[in-house]
Amino acid sequence: MSAPVSSDGTIVVVGASLAGLRAAEEVRHEGHTGPVVVVGEERHAPYDRPPLSKQVLSGKWDADRIRHHTPDAHDALDLEFRLGRRATGLDIGARLVALDDGTELAYDGLVIATGAATRALPGSEGMAKVWLLRTLDDCLGIRADLAAAGDAPRLIVIGAGFIGSEVAATCRGIGARVTLLEAYHTPLARVLGDEMGRMCADLHVANGMDLRTSVSIDHLESDPGGPDPVTVVLDDGTRLPADVVVVGIGVTPSVGWLEGSGVELDNGVRCDGSLFAAEGIVAAGDVANWTRPTTGRPARVEHWTNAAEGGAACARNLLAGSVAATPYDPVPFFWSDQYATKIQMIGLPDADDEVVVVSGSGEEGKLIALYRSGDRLGGVLTFSQPAKLMGYRPLLAAGASFDEALDHASS
């Protein structure tokens, strides 16, 4: 059980990205008058991450455009930011968060919103011209290295998930010669299933991408001053030279600072259906692995809308206490912009669910596909059909049957 937080109590939010910022905002919107301290590992004020693999990477937007708020707006919320600071430990009994500068923050309520860290390719850590893409500084570094390589730079992207596919598509659009490497037999099959994954592969090929699937990386070699700054060596001995390499092989929840704290860690921070992780502690965003009320199963969702909605929801529940808390059970939604196609999905289907295309096709560049989870509608995927997608949202929220979804599609 978690008691309500008094109106003048101190709220500490660890994580200054979307989930953490939304939590801090909601605390104020709910009328909380006590101190609200937001700790962020990056030196930048909170900003939006999705444009990093698209508009900012291409140079169409500058960094100021992705800030969540102007400085004046932050001031109006009366939030205390500790930027460039990293949480290193948590003492639940004493209600203290330790920071890397040796200071400790006392809290009455704690929001854990530390997100997830990108996985590095073993042996590539610190290698010149080899990048992960998680932060604004990463994005600007990739841009600078591509520009320094001259016209038509050679880029290798390792991993054809959403981030890797977006980076590859964006850089292809600005004139880079891009090779996209994927260990699985088709991009995004683990998320979208084989059939829809093949359509994503076709999209890459139709836009001139050198897509190579079912490949394994042996190692990377570095020669920053040579004609081939980086060489990707595959398991079969194939050598692929590049000017820049971007690694996009997934993320891991950022929970190292919580080890030994008493907070349960299992693929992130384990939370109940109202996002409580412990007495006076909630979590949200990429780091939260909560029990979905509709399924009774744990879920950890790495998408923008979950961070925004979960950040606000966990703040309301933290202030209200666990007895008055509202279960968190959103309809998951995500999108990915690749070339001229907007890929969108609502729901959380399994990759092995049956997929039924009810409108369009990959060749047309527009489609609607329904996922059958047992006898229920598990999710809806669209290519460049944003208006029609949202018509299925009430069905998913109501737990509609698959037959009802088919009726909606034909109406």
pLDDT tens readout for residues 46-101:
999 999 999 999 999 999 999 987 666 667 889 999 999 999 999 999 999 999 99
Q: What is the 3-state secondary structure (H, E, C) of the chain?
A: CCCCCCCCCCEEEECCCHHHHHHHHHHHHCCCCCCEEEEECCCCCCECCHHHHCHHHHCCCCHHHHECCCHHHHHHHCCEEEECCCEEEEECCCCEEEECCCCEEECCEEEECCCEEECCCCCCCCCCCEEECCCHHHHHHHHHHHHHCCCCCEEEEECCCHHHHHHHHHHHHCCCEEEEEECCCCCCHHHHCHHHHHHHHHHHHHCCCEEEECCCEEEEEECCCCCCCEEEEECCCCEEEECEEEECCCEEECCHHHCCCCCCECCCEEECCCCEEECCEEECHHHEEEECCCCCCEECCCCHHHHHHHHHHHHHHHHHCCCCCCCCCCCCEEEEEECCEEEEEEECCCCCCEEEEEEEECCCCEEEEEEEECCEEEEEEEECCHHHHHHHHHHHHCCCEHHHHHHHHHC
The C-alpha atoms of residue 47 and residue 138 are separated, in whole angstroms, by 14
Percent of the chain with pLDDT over 90: 91
Please tell me the least confidently modeled range out of 92-101, 124-133, 359-368.
359-368
The pLDDT assigned to 72 comes to 64
The structural domains of the chain, ordered by start, are: 11-117+252-320 (3.50.50.60), 120-249 (3.50.50.60), 340-410 (3.30.390.30)
The pLDDT assigned to 18 comes to 96
The C-alpha atoms of residue 372 and residue 385 are separated, in whole angstroms, by 20
Q: Smallest Cα–Cα separation from 272: which of 23, 18, 2? A: 2
The pLDDT assigned to 350 comes to 84
Give 97-104 contacts, CB < 8 A, sequence gap 24+. Answer: 97/12, 97/14, 97/39, 99/39
Q: 338-354: per-residue pLDDT in tens?
A: 999 999 999 988 888 99
Amino acid identity for residue 332 in this structure: P
The pLDDT assigned to 351 comes to 80
Does residue 201 carry a pLDDT above 80?
A: yes
Does residue 377 carry a pLDDT above 80?
A: yes
The C-alpha atoms of residue 140 and residue 159 are separated, in whole angstroms, by 20
The pLDDT assigned to 71 comes to 61
The pLDDT assigned to 70 comes to 66
φ, ψ for residue 305 (rounded to 5)?
-65, -35
Under 8 Å CB-to-CB from 323, ≥6 apart: which residues?
1
Greater confidence, 40 or 71? 40
The pLDDT assigned to 69 comes to 77
Q: Smallest Cα–Cα separation from 204: which of 235, 172, 156? A: 172
Contact 166, 53 (CB under 8 A): yes
Given pLDDT bands bounded at 50, 70 and 90, which one contains residue 150? Answer: very high
Does residue 278 carry a pLDDT above 90?
A: yes
The C-alpha atoms of residue 268 and residue 277 are separated, in whole angstroms, by 11
Does residue 171 carry a pLDDT above 70?
A: yes
The C-alpha atoms of residue 395 and residue 400 are separated, in whole angstroms, by 5
Q: 228-275: per-residue pLDDT in tens?
A: 999 999 999 999 999 999 999 999 999 999 999 999 999 999 999 999
Given pLDDT bands bounded at 50, 70 and 90, which one contains residue 363? Answer: confident
